Amino acid sequence: MDGMGMIDLRSDTVTHPTPEMRRAMAEAEVGDDVLGEDPTVKRLENLAAERLGKESGLFVASGTMGNLVSILTHCGRGDEVILGDNSHTFNYEQGGIAALGSVHPRTVRNRPDGTLDLAEVEQAVRPDNVHFPRTRLIVLENTQNRCHGRALEAGYLRAVRELADRRQLRIHVDGARLFNAAAALGVQAGELAADADSVSFCLSKGLAAPVGSVVCASSPFIAEARRMRKALGGGMRQAGVLAAAGIVALSTMIDRLPEDHANARLLAEGLASLEGLTVQVENVQSNIVYFDVAPGGMTAVELAARLRSRGVLVLPSAERTLRAVTHYMVARRDILRALEIVREEMA
Ligand SMILES: *Cc1c(COP(=O)(O)O)cnc(C)c1O
């Protein structure tokens, strides 16, 4: 529950920095990061790269910037990127890769488990022909937000890597919630980054830092990405005050993610037991719960408004679909209270 007594399940982006983060921010050693002189930013970048088993890291302002910088570093004007039709990059980043980078998106259907069918990816790869754009990159999302926050397994990522190698493509993983994926699968995040050329993850979601994402990749790639970040206006100066919170996020917030996943499960099972709501409980693997209201009853917007008036915030995501996301500011007792309120409003 937040300071205003609301149970805010709209997103894990609503998390506030922890007291330890605020202290670290106040005391952070800083310098001009565009000149490469901020020791705290460097420490965060190194820590993140180490965690993911990559050579280097780049601190960026947001997940959107992490994906944009990465894709524009992989691709030139007119190159094509294969990505899921339910991916965040295709749906929620304003088409920035096309608008700002002239990169051509080619969507492949996301299956309900978040994966792209390998045969469909293979078919989408362009042959060498003067009529066609050049396929350059595959973008995967882990966890796959709009597919119930499902985690993509290392074996699947390996298979995509084999395809990419065979067709001379590169792979970017939008790992906004990569640490949730790792927790859901019981593996180290590095295992889920191993087969990607670049990976971005958010510090500002379940890890609760106020700002920022990190892109991790090889050192030559990060050197180019650093140039691209500057061109996009993302060169920050004494950013160590932000990076300091990111360091605390990486060292204190990862091991507790299974709690959020258990709470999401509890919420999903509770919602599934209510008349008029349906939940695909078996798909709830991480901290995201999608649930549907039955046709004929309230719309998603109407139910969300009723819940808001009772102090429970959820996100309508389609006509009859709502989303709830668990995070460290929502305790088990808040989930039980939220379920009680939903039950009363559905009655
Ligand atoms: C949140 C999110 C992003 C973008 O992060 P912002 O920091 O909000 O720009 C990218 N991809 C996925 C899957 C996300 O959930």
> Which of 252, 287, 314 is at the close of a domain?
252
Do 273 and 163 fall within a single domain? Answer: no
Residue with tokens 């919170």: 245
Query: Is 139 a member of any domain?
Result: yes
Instruction: Quote the CA–CA distance of 275 and 99 in Å, as a whole number.
Output: 45
110 C-beta closer than 6 A to ligand 1? no
Which helix or strand (DSSP H or E) is residue 168 part of? none
> Which of 222, 252, 282 is at the close of a domain?
252
Nearest alpha-carbon partner for 173 in 185, 190, 186: 190
Do 263 and 232 fall within a single domain? Answer: no
The two beta strands, 288-293 and 321-325, are antiparallel
Task: Decide if 195 contacts 171 (C-beta within 8 A).
Answer: yes
144 C-beta closer than 6 A to ligand 1? no
Instruction: Quote the CA–CA distance of 299 and 304 in Å, as a whole number.
Output: 9
Hey, which of 10, 174, 178, 213 would you mutate to test ligand 1's pocket, going by the most ligand atoms within 8 Å of its Cβ?
Answer: 174
The CATH number of residue 320's host domain is 3.90.1150.10
Hey, which of 12, 13, 59, 64 would you mutate to test ligand 1's pocket, going by the most ligand atoms within 8 Å of its Cβ?
Answer: 64
Structural domain of 292: 7-14+256-346
Query: How many separate domains does the chain show?
Result: 2
Query: Is 1 a member of any domain?
Result: no
DSSP 8-state class, residue 152: P
Instruction: Quote the CA–CA distance of 244 and 276 in Å, as a whole number.
Output: 46
* pLDDT for the residue 287: 98
Do 232 and 265 fall within a single domain? Answer: no
Do 239 and 265 fall within a single domain? Answer: no
Do 284 and 229 fall within a single domain? Answer: no
Residue with tokens 């790269």: 49
Q: How far, in Å, from the CA of 206 to the mean position of ligand 1?
A: 12
Do 301 and 226 fall within a single domain? Answer: no
Nearest alpha-carbon partner for 10 in 301, 316, 300, 272: 316
Nearest alpha-carbon partner for 255 in 193, 324, 186: 186
Task: Decide if 248 contacts 43 (C-beta within 8 A).
Answer: no
Per-residue pLDDT of the chain (347 residues; tens, 9 = 90+): 766 789 999 999 999 999 999 999 999 999 999 999 999 999 999 999 999 999 999 999 999 999 999 999 999 999 999 999 999 999 999 999 999 999 999 999 999 999 999 999 999 999 999 999 999 999 999 999 999 999 999 999 999 999 999 999 999 999 999 999 999 999 999 999 999 999 999 999 999 999 999 999 999 999 999 999 999 999 999 999 999 999 999 999 999 999 999 999 999 999 999 999 999 999 999 999 999 999 988 999 999 999 999 999 999 999 999 999 999 999 999 999 999 999 999 98
- The SS3 call for residue 215 is strand
- The SS3 call for residue 305 is helix
Do 232 and 280 fall within a single domain? Answer: no
Instruction: Output the six-digit token pair for 144.
Output: 């796959």
State the pTM of this model. 0.97
> Which of 252, 272, 289 is at the close of a domain?
252
Query: Is 2 a member of any domain?
Result: no
Hey, which of 70, 145, 207, 290 would you mutate to test ligand 1's pocket, going by the most ligand atoms within 8 Å of its Cβ?
Answer: 145
Do 61 and 77 fall within a single domain? Answer: yes
The total number of residues shown for the chain amounts to: 347
Do 179 and 97 fall within a single domain? Answer: yes
* pLDDT for the residue 4: 73
Nearest alpha-carbon partner for 39 in 50, 51, 27: 27
The CATH number of residue 24's host domain is 3.40.640.10
Q: How far, in Å, from the CA of 132 to the mean position of ligand 1?
A: 30
202 C-beta closer than 6 A to ligand 1? yes
